[in-house]
Amino acid sequence: MNALLVYPQCPDSYWSFRHALSFQGKRAAQPPLGLLTVAALLPASWDRRLVDTNVEPLKEADLVWADVVLLSGMLIQRDPLLSIVRRCRARGVRTVVGGPISSSLTPDELEADHIVIGEAEGLVAALARDIERGVAQPVYCAAERPSMEQSPLPDLSLVRMKRYGTMTVQYSRGCPFNCEFCNIVEIYGRRPRTKAVAQVLAELDQLCAAGWRGPVFIVDDNFIGNKVRVRELLSALIEWQREHQYLFRFITEASLNLADDEELLHAMRDAGFASVFLGIETPSEASLAAANKLQNTRRDMLASIARIQSFGMEVMGGFILGFDTDSEDVFERLVQFIQKSAIPIAMVGLLQAIPNTRLFQRLSREGRVLDTGGGNNTSCELNFRPHMNADRLIEGYRFVLRRIYSGDAYFERVREYLSRCRPHYGAHFSLANVRALFFSLMRQGVIGKARLSYWKFLLAALTRYRDCFGAAMTMAVMGYHFQVVTEQIVSAEPS
Ligand code: SF4
């Protein structure tokens, strides 16, 4: 049986990092880890190939080769995913769709021959057996959430690593919190499940043996969701990193209560965590409470962020506009908050009512849902009726983006981040780094709209931040991506 695993294209957004990655000759941020895990679960007798359409086209010859095409994706990939499903069906190739999108859309909406709802570990063996026998069902739905200790070593042999900016490892799934807008708890549950420490170390060994040197994103929903287990992991990571001369720079996602746990902060720093993404959402206490983001309430969030940064970790932040309790002053407050936070990478989006969330259910009851939405929270297309006038909300959203991604505002945050964290990565000599520096000087320093701010920053990087010049230039290049995407968002025609 020839199994073709296909990952649909992700649209250009803040999360794609596409415009920064091109400086280094990379094509996408990270490989599709879910499909690499599915590949490892398929019967050993099956031949398998991967086409990640973010880095290469899906060719007719691929479809001629395939007996079955397995697709995975998120809601944001719906349109490209559907176009691949239709292409396969037109050629008579059997299709299977799984991943988070199958929990957001109905089987009919996905149009595939077989839909897999739930996590692959408990389903792929039965699906493969039924396909071989010619008795595969239209829908496979996991009866329970599997133990992550059943999860195999992802099949890295299918990936050309040089095309990607970051490699990925998953340690846990699920999150103990219950934010109203989030679909993580609905899909993966509130009791975080983790891999065994040995599994994670085996994945790092695999990356190391395959020649990967660079950032590794631990793509957990909330890395500190199970604090007892994560302490065990961190002890092992510290040892592994020491034995391997701190080969990897880790990035992960966590909740803001990380700031309250000094022991955990020390351990993450010692294990080589350089960046952590936090869902901060909004400076409005009322909106946090209404969204049930209680872990961010009753605290000085700026102080919590600064505390995490004081352990050398860059904080990336997720922010949302469009809560029912947002008032007219939320836009200016958010700009001020982000500037004070020294968070260079601020992912600001509009609230989306994702199907299968408590928010979607509430808004449906209130008759305010317009459609299932496209999963892209920067698209300026609301899929529900907000309390604030919709045009005003979108105008305010664009105001925030224009302000925080103006050259001066962005580089001011980077300078403050460098002062607080003194990060020491990215300074080694490599062709990719030289290429990135050259393109940065050309695109940002010569023809870039923010070139004045850029040169001021470069001067500071060469004087005040010489010890962290590599990180400074990495952040400059990142800024280019955010400025390009911001330009697209603010100049798009109102829908
Ligand atoms: S903390 Fe993050 S992952 Fe957890 S429920 Fe809230 S938004 Fe979702």
Task: Annotate 267-295 with b (16+ C-beta within 10 A) or e (fewer).
Answer: bbbbbbbbbbbbbbbbbbeebbeebbbeb
For residue 54, the 8-state DSSP code is T
Ligand 1 contacts (CB < 6 A) are: 175, 177-179, 182, 184-185, 221-222, 255, 279
- Give the helix/strand (H/E) hosting 169: strand 167-169
**Both 382 and 309 in a single domain?**
yes
Q: How large is the average pLDDT for residues 268-283?
A: 97
471-488 confidence digits (pLDDT tens): 999 999 999 999 999 999
Q: From ligand 1's centre to the CA of 371, what distance in Å?
A: 23
Residue 414 domain flag: no
**Ligand 1 closest atom vs CA 293:** 6
Q: Which of 24, 22, 28, 23 is nearest to 10 (CA)?
A: 28
| Alpha carbon nearest to ligand 1 atom 6, residue | 179
On whether residue 409 sits in a domain, the answer given is no
120 and 55 share one domain: yes
One-character DSSP codes across 398-450: HHHHHHHTSHHHHHHHHHHHHHHH----S-S--HHHHHHHHHIIIIIIIS-TT
Choosing from 178, 190, 221, 320 the residue with most ligand 1 atoms within 8 A of its CB, the one to mutate for a pocket test is 221
What is the number of the ligand 1 atom nearest to the C-alpha of 181?
A: 7
* Count of C-beta atoms within a 10 Å radius of residue 198: 10
Predicted pLDDT at 427 = 62
**How many angstroms separate the alpha carbon of residue 182 from the centre of ligand 1?**
6
Q: What distance in Å separates the CA atoms of residue 467 and residue 456, rounded to the nearest whole number?
A: 17
- In degrees, rounded to 5, the angle at the alpha carbon of residue 51 between the alpha carbons of residues 78 and 99 is 40
Would you place residue 433 in the very low, low, confident or very high pLDDT band (cuts 50, 70, 90)? confident
- Bridge partners of residue 141, in order along the sequence: 117
Q: Are 104 and 76 in contact (CB under 8 A)?
A: no
pTM of the predicted model as reported, rounded to 2 decimal places = 0.95
Helices marked H in 42-77 — which ranges? 60-65
For the CA of 185, the closest atom of ligand 1 is 5
Higher pLDDT, 456 or 375: 456
Question: What pLDDT sits at residue 430?
Answer: 78
Please answer whether residues 175 and 190 qualify as being in contact, where contact means their C-beta atoms are separated by less than 8 angstroms: yes
394: pLDDT confidence band, cut at 50, 70 and 90? Answer: very high
d(CA 398, CA 415): 24
- Where do we find the tokens 């928010």? 359
Q: How far is the CA of 296 from the centre of ligand 1 (A)?
A: 11
> Ligand 1: distance of its center to the CA of 240 in Å?
29
Instruction: Verify that 304 and 433 share a domain, yes or no.
Output: no
**Residue 228 C-alpha from the chain's centroid:** 24
- Domain of 435 in residue numbering reads as 419-491
Q: Rounded to the nearest whole angstrom, what is the distance from the C-alpha of residue 468 to the centroid of ligand 1?
A: 32
Segment 405-426, tens digit of pLDDT: 999 999 999 999 999 999 987 6
Residue 481 lies in a domain: yes
The answer to whether residue 240 sits within a structural domain is: no
Extract the tokens encoding 348: 């600001």
Instruction: Mark whether 82 and 219 lie in a shared domain.
Output: no
Closest-lying ligand 1 atom to the alpha carbon of residue 182: 8
Q: How many domains does the chain have?
A: 3
Residue 337 has pLDDT above 70, yes or no: yes
The pLDDT tens digits of the residues spanning 48-105 come to 999 999 999 999 999 999 999 999 999 999 999 999 999 999 999 999 999 999 999 9
State which amino acid sits at residue 486. Answer: T
The pLDDT of residue 493: 66
Whichever domain contains 184, its CATH number is 3.20.20.70
Specify the ligand 1 atom closest to the Cα of 176.
4
Q: Is residue 451 part of a domain?
A: yes
Do the domain assignments include residue 410? Answer: no
Q: Would you state the pLDDT for residue 379?
A: 85
> Given a cut of 60, is residue 495 above it in pLDDT?
no
Residue 494 scores a pLDDT above 70 = no
Give distance in angstroms: CA of 12 to centre of ligand 1.
24
- Find the angle CA(215)-CA(218)-CA(220) to the nearest 5 degrees: 155
Q: How far is the CA of 340 from the centre of ligand 1 (A)?
A: 23
Whether 393 contacts 281, CB under 8 Å = no
The pLDDT score that the predictor gives to residue 184 is 93
Secondary structure of residue 347 in the 3-state scheme:
strand
Is residue 424 assigned to a domain?
A: yes
Do 172 and 225 meet the contact criterion of CB atoms below 8 Å apart? Answer: yes
Q: Contact, 222 vs 176, CB < 8 A?
A: yes
Residue 492 Cα to ligand 1 midpoint, Å, equals 30
List, for residues 309-336, the tens digit of each pLDDT value: 999 999 999 999 999 999 999 999 999 9
List pLDDT tens digits, range 169-196. 999 999 999 999 999 999 999 999 999 9
pLDDT at 426: 66
Q: Are residues 187 and 296 in the same domain?
A: yes
